[in-house]
Amino acid sequence: MQDILTLGFLATLLATAWRLATPLIFASIGEVISERAGILNIGIEGTMLMGAFCGFAATFASGSLMLGLLAGIAAGVASGLLFALLTVTVKANQIVVGAAINLLGLGLTSFLFRTYYVSTGRGVEIAPPIDIPWLSDLPFFGEALFRQNLIVYSTVIVTILAALLLYRTSFGLTLRAVGDHPKAVDVAGRSVAAYRYAAVLMGSGLAGLGGAFLTLGHSNQFVEGMTSGRGFIALAVVVFARWSPVGAFFVSILFGLFYALQLQLQAQPLLNISYQVFQALPYLMTIIAVCLVGGKSAEPRRLGVPYGER
C-alpha cells in the first residue's frame, strides 16, 4: 500500500498513461478536426482497426516500420474517403455511415487477418524506445517518462500542429467556419464540400495512425477487435475536451491515467475493492465531465448536418 505514494509509482503511472493515451490522442484530435468542420464521424473504431491491420500487414511484408505507419494512415484516409463520399457528396446521414464503417472495419480486418496471417506467434518489430538526451536523465520522471518510442513522442507534435492549423491558419479559420456557418463560407465563394473532405480525410488518417500505433508501437501483433472500444472513447474525449486539440491531448492522458491507475490498483493485493469499480470509473467520470462542461457553447453549430439541408 505504501508504494502507491512514491514518486517512482507516479512516474510509471504517467508513463503508462501516456502510452495508453497515444492511440486516443491521435484518434480524438482527428475527430476534433472533423467535427470542427461539422462532420460527426462515429466510424473511428472501424477506421482504427483498419489502420492497425494495414499497418501490421505492411510492416509484416516489408519489414519497414515507416511503411507500416504510412499504410496505417493510408488505410484511415481510404476509410475517410468512403465516409466523406457518402456524407458530404451524397449527404447521407453521418451516424448511419459511421455505424456501417464500424461494421466494415471489424469485419474486413478480421476476415483478412484470418485468411492471410492467422497468428503464428510471429509479430513485427515495434518502434524501439528512444531516450531524449537530457530529459531522460531527470530523477524519477526522466527514465519513466522519456523512454518512449517516437510514435508516443509524436503525439505532442501532432497536438501542436493541429492547434496551429485550426487557430493560426486561414485554412483552419475557414474550416471552423464550415462547422459553424457553412452558408457564410459558401457565400464567400469557398467550397464547403472541399473543406469537409479535407477535414474528414485528415481526421480519418489520424485515426488510422492511432490504430497503427497499437500494432507497430505497442503490441507487435494484430488481434481481432484489438481496439477494444477506443474509437468510441475518442468520441467522448472530443466532447470532454470541448473540441480543442490541446484539450483532447490532456483528456486522453487523463483517460490513460485512469486506466493505468485501475491496473495498478488491481495489482495491489491489499486493496479489497472489486476491480470492476475501477474499470467503470473512467466512464462515470466522463459522464460527469460531459455534464459539467455540457452546454452547446463549444459544439460546432452545424455538427452532423449535411450542408444544403435545413
Partner 1 sequence: MGLCVGARAVRIGVMPLAIAGLLGSGAVAWADQLKMGLLVPGSVSEEGWNRIGYNALKGVEEQLGAEVSYVELQQNPASFAKAFYDYASQGYQVILGHGFEFQDAALEVAEQYPDTYFLISSSDIHEGNVIGLNTDTSQPFYLMGVVAAKMGQKAGLVGGMEIPPIQQAFEGFKAGARSVNPDFPISEAYIGNFTDTAAAKEAALSMIAQGADFVQPNASGATVGGFQGIAESGKNVGTFSIFSDFTEVAPDNILGLYKADYAQGVVEVVRSIMDGNPPQSNVAFGLKDEKVMQFTFRDDGPSSVPEEIRTEIARIAAEIAAGNIRTMSN
Partner 2 sequence: MTQIDQQGRGGAATPPPLRILRKAASAGLAMMRPAAALAVALFCGTVLLGLNGFDGISVMIGMVFGVFQDMRSVSEVLLKAVPLILIGAGLCVAFRCRMWNIGAEGQFYAGAVAATFAGVSVEGLTAWLYVPLITLAGALGGAFWGGIAGYLKVRFQASEIVTTIMLNYIALIATSYLVTGPMKDAQAAYPQSARLFREAWIPNLIPGTRLHVGILVALVLALALYVFLYRSSAGYAMRVVGINPFAAAYAGIRTRGNMVAAMCISGGMAGLAGAFEVAGVTRRLYQSISPGYGFEGIAVALLAGNNPLGAILSGGLFAVLRSGAELMQITSQVPQVLVLVIQGIVILSVVAFAAIRWQPWRKG
- Note the residues at the interface with partner 1 (CB under 8 A): 3, 8-9, 12, 16, 19-20, 23, 110, 113-116, 118-123, 126, 129, 144, 214, 218-221, 223-226, 228, 259-260, 263-264, 266-269, 275-276, 279
- For 160, residues 6+ apart whose C-beta sits below 8 A from its C-beta are none
Among residues 79, 93, 35, which one has the least CA distance to residue 208? 79
Nearer to partner 2, 62 or 228 (CB): 228
Residue 269 binds which entry of partner 1, partner 2, none, CB below 5-8 Å type-dependent: partner 1
If one asks whether residue 191 binds partner 2 (CB under 8 A), the answer comes out as no
CA atoms within 13 A on the CB side of 160: 4
Residue type, 281: L
* Of 1-9, 57-65, 148-156, 235-243: span binding partner 2 (CB under 8 A): 235-243
Backbone angles phi, psi at 128, to 5 degrees: -80, 150
In angstroms, the CA 255 to CA 262 distance is 11
Residue 191 binds which entry of partner 2, partner 1, none, CB below 5-8 Å type-dependent: none
Site map 112..151 versus partner 2, x via CB under 8 A: x-xx------------------------------------
Residue type, 102: N
If one asks whether residue 157 binds partner 2 (CB under 8 A), the answer comes out as no
* Of 22-30, 51-59, 85-93, 179-187: span binding partner 2 (CB under 8 A): 85-93
Residue 154 binds which entry of partner 2, partner 1, none, CB below 5-8 Å type-dependent: none
- For 276, residues 6+ apart whose C-beta sits below 8 A from its C-beta are none
Contact positions toward partner 2, by CB under 8 A?
Answer: 40, 42, 82, 86, 90-93, 95-97, 99-104, 106-108, 110-112, 114-115, 224, 229, 232-233, 235-236, 239-240, 274, 276-277, 279-280, 283-284, 286-287, 290-292, 294-296, 299, 309-310
